[in-house]
Structure 1
Amino acid sequence: MEIGISMFGDLSFDKAARAFQSPHERLQDLLEEVKLADEVGLDVFGIGEHHRAEYAVSSPEIILAAAASVTKNIKLTSSVTVLSSNDPVRVYQNFSTVDLLSNGRAEITVGRGSFIESFPLFGYDLNDYNGLFTEKLELLKQINETETISWKGKYRAALDSQQVLPRPVNGRMDIWIAVGGTPQSVVRAAKMGFPLIIAIIGGMPAQFKPFFDLYKTEYINAGHDPAKMQLATHSHGLVGENGTALADEYFASYAGQMDRVGSSRGWAPYTRGQFEGGRSLEGALFVGDPNQVTDKILQNQEMFGLTRFLLHTDVGGPNHKLLMKSIELLGDKVAPAVRKALKK
């Protein structure tokens, strides 16, 4: 099983100054974090797309291109690219360029996004939310399979024997579908043969098992090779030498971000009780010492049949030192322990 990290480029918030961290500072730190993730042997790095004040990253491809220049082995993917408000042709060209720069290490992870700012920003009607994603996903799949495209749809200008260049090192890239847990999204990914990653950021992971079971059934029924099936989860977390001390240090930052997001969605204020419930073995929050995080990853791998696990480490903008330590422990302690256990 592959183990990696994902980030959104969260900016820390200074309550006294009532201001977010400088995006310039965050991006410099982020590249150091990616470089370390590669050095400690993690398998994947993902970066997400957002268009909000609390995030530093709006274009994952640019960050991944920079990451390609400071890494050697780690896979580089978006986490996610909001395909509905992007042009699939341009997305593919950009990620192909990252793939060439990284000697074949690029992937694309697409989703519909959990925020809506990109729709008015790029001139798309939110009422077309589902249609945009479905059509653009079909086009992206065709581009990945064929260099010269003839295509016609509803939301984009037609293509008549157009070449989509450059092409990736191996001629095509892995394209993952990220879902939040709707059956329709799971079935679509399975029928089209895309690898699936489910964001499990609340509640209990066991609640998501029916979605993985549904995917496996639909994937096989669609005639795809079970040996090529790829399944992943993305969950919030941090690793520290002492789980309790880490939780005490990190709670305020994490709760602050949950409350910023929740204020526009009608959520009640995030509590320490919720945080600790998430940290339990049955919860979705991977905040703890290496043994605690290892046990939870192994539990999830057994429950879902995972081929990849991504620890989303920068929710709320924890300080750079804390992130670097978490990456170090994930690579030096957690990943080896998971790999050893899975070989038994």
Structure 2
Amino acid sequence: MKVIAISLIVHAPDPVTGEQVSTHQRFAQVVRAAEFSELIGLDGFGVGERHERPFISSAPTVVLSHLAARTKRLRLFTAVTTLSLLDPVRAYEDYATLDHLSEGRLELIIGKGNGSAQRDLFAVTEDDQWDRNAESYEVFRSLWRQDKVTADTRFRPALRDAEVWPRPFQQPVRVWHGSATSRASVDLAARYGEPLFSANVTNPIEPYAELIDHYRERWAHYGHDPAALTVVAGSAGLSVSSTSQRARSRFAPAFAGYLAAQRRLGVEPVFATIDDYIERSSALIGSPAQVLDKIQRYHERFGHTVLHVGADAQGISEAAHRESLELFAEAVLPALRTDIPDPPVWGPGELVDDGIRGGAPAGETFLATG
């Protein structure tokens, strides 16, 4: 199994203390989290893309380009690229450039995005967001694979033998499809024979399991090789300690902050108590043995071979979260590597290096990684 850490770059008051760091400090926390993820042996790091409060992840290509310079090995994920809001040509240019600067470490997770405020910002409606997402992806996918693209489009000017530069470093980049609630995203992933990224955060297991089951059905419908199917599953929180009691007590203030936030929004919480949260959510809270057992139980239902854990502290100190991640890497990750297979495909796609389409000359790198 591969494990990646993800930050949506939430910039909000601490749910326990009420304190809020500056924007500059928040970005610095994300950089430290990526460097630490590489240090403890995780396989990838992702940042979100949101265009509304309380997030400051509106420019993921900029953040990931910086992380490319500060790391050497991590696969760099978007979580997610909101193609329903973006011009696919402009998005392609940004991500093809990032693919070069990271020397082929880019991994794209696409999705329609969430939130009415960002839809309003980009004049996208609830009715047309799915069509926009599908159209943008088809154009984006063609641009990544073809030197010239012709496309009759509804939501941007049509393309006629369009050439877009730079050509990518990977040919092609691998695309993962984010899925939280809709079968539309699942079907798009299955149609193209590409991996599914299940959010698996807000609710108990079954709604996500049903979408993954549908993905497998559509994968077979489109005639793809079952052995090539790949599922990623998220987790709703992380607190790993030597005993379940210590892990629970460390996470308790964060959970209390979550309940308070739900009350302020007038939302009925899905999990009313911390014990219910530990039992029925995907949160990884407990001793290493308990955390490993929960991941294996989810794997039995999902069949996933990539796991996402939170990169950020949630209502606990940054040092405490690092301690939890480090114990996870030392006491849980080795068993995951042994017991659960890796995804069928991992690492860079085919790297093009002909002096025109992409690639650095032999022995040359673009970025200092020290």
Q: Which structure 2 residue ranges, 5 or more long, are not aligned?
A: 342-370
TM-score when normalising by structure 2: 0.83
Q: Secondary structure at the match of 2:73?
A: coil
CA RMSD of aligned residues (A): 2.5
Q: Secondary structure at the match of 2:234?
A: strand
Q: Which moved more, 1:293-302 or 1:322-331?
A: 322-331
Deviation at 1:88, TM superposition (A): 1.6
Q: Which residue in 1 is equivalent to 2:162? A: 162
Q: Which moved more, 1:314-323 or 1:188-197?
A: 314-323
Q: Which moved more, 1:128-137 or 1:74-83?
A: 128-137
Deviation at 1:106, TM superposition (A): 0.4
Q: Which residue in 2 is equivalent to 1:8? A: 8
Q: Which has the higher helix share?
A: 1
Q: Confirm or deny: 8 A CA contact 1:181 1:198 kept in the other structure.
A: no
Q: Which residue in 2 is equivalent to 1:340? A: 338
1:283 aligns with 2:284: no
Cα distance in 1 between the residues matched to 2:63 and 2:263:
27
1:84 aligns with 2:84: yes
Amino acid at match of 2:107: E
Q: Within 5 A, what are the aligned runs for 1:44-83?
A: 44-83=44-83
Q: Within 5 A, what are the aligned runs for 1:100-249?
A: 100-241=100-241, 242-249=243-250
Deviations 1:65-108 (A, max 9, x none): 11111111111111112211112222222222222122211011
Q: Secondary structure at the match of 2:70?
A: coil
Q: Confirm or deny: 8 A CA contact 2:180 2:208 kept in the other structure.
A: no
Q: Secondary structure at the match of 1:69?
A: helix
Q: Which residue in 2 is equivalent to 1:250? A: 251
Q: How many residues align?
A: 340
Q: Secondary structure at the match of 1:41?
A: coil
Deviation at 1:207, TM superposition (A): 4.2
Cα distance in 2 between the residues matched to 1:145 and 1:163:
11
Q: Within 5 A, what are the aligned runs for 1:27-42?
A: 27-42=27-42
Cα distance in 1 between the residues matched to 2:212 and 2:15:
41
Q: 1:16 to 1:224 in 2, by over 3 A?
A: closer
Deviation at 1:324, TM superposition (A): 2.0
Q: 1:330 to 1:63 in 2, by over 3 A?
A: farther
Q: Which moved more, 1:171-180 or 1:91-100?
A: 91-100
Deviations 1:13-49 (A, max 9, x none): 1579966321211111211110111122111211111
Q: Confirm or deny: 8 A CA contact 1:255 1:271 kept in the other structure.
A: no
Deviations 1:271-312 (A, max 9, x none): 661x321212x4322223322222211222222111211113
Q: Confirm or deny: 8 A CA contact 2:240 2:291 kept in the other structure.
A: no
Q: Which moved more, 1:314-323 or 1:164-173?
A: 314-323
Deviation at 1:315, TM superposition (A): 6.9
Cα distance in 2 between the residues matched to 1:315 and 1:117:
26
Deviation at 1:57, TM superposition (A): 1.9
Q: Confirm or deny: 8 A CA contact 2:305 2:340 kept in the other structure.
A: no
Amino acid at match of 1:90: R
Cα distance in 1 between the residues matched to 2:51 and 2:317:
22
Q: Confirm or deny: 8 A CA contact 1:259 1:270 kept in the other structure.
A: no
Amino acid at match of 1:58: S
Cα distance in 1 between the residues matched to 2:282 and 2:263:
18
Deviations 1:164-185 (A, max 9, x none): 2223322211111101132333
Q: Which residue in 1 is equivalent to 2:306? A: 308
Q: Which moved more, 1:49-58 or 1:30-39?
A: 49-58
Cα distance in 2 between the residues matched to 1:62 and 1:209:
34
Q: Confirm or deny: 8 A CA contact 1:74 1:105 kept in the other structure.
A: yes
Cα distance in 2 between the residues matched to 1:151 and 1:285:
43
Amino acid at match of 2:317: N
Q: Which moved more, 1:294-303 or 1:323-332?
A: 323-332
Q: Secondary structure at the match of 2:332?
A: helix
Q: Which structure 1 residue ranges, 5 or more long, are not aligned?
A: none
